[in-house]
Amino acid sequence: MKIILLIIFFLFCGAFLIVSNENIHLNKKEESEKFALFYYNWISNGLENARSISAHAVNLEWFSKNSSNFTK
Mean local confidence (pLDDT), 48-67 = 86
Which pLDDT tens digit goes with each residue over 30-46? 999 999 999 999 999 99
Residue 68 lies inside a defined structural domain of this protein? no
Residue 46 lies inside a defined structural domain of this protein? yes
Give the number of other CB atoms < 10 A from CB of residue 43.
13
Domain enclosing residue 27, as ranges: 2-59
- The backbone region for 10, taken as left when phi is positive above 0, alpha when psi lies in -120 to 50, beta otherwise, is alpha
DSSP type of residue 60? S
Residue 51 lies inside a defined structural domain of this protein? yes
pTM of this prediction exceeds 0.85: no
Which pLDDT tens digit goes with each residue over 3-33? 999 999 999 999 999 999 999 999 999 999 9
Residue 64 lies inside a defined structural domain of this protein? no
Residue 9 lies inside a defined structural domain of this protein? yes
Confidence label for 52 from pLDDT (cuts 50, 70 and 90): very high
Residue 65 lies inside a defined structural domain of this protein? no
Name the domain count of the chain: 1
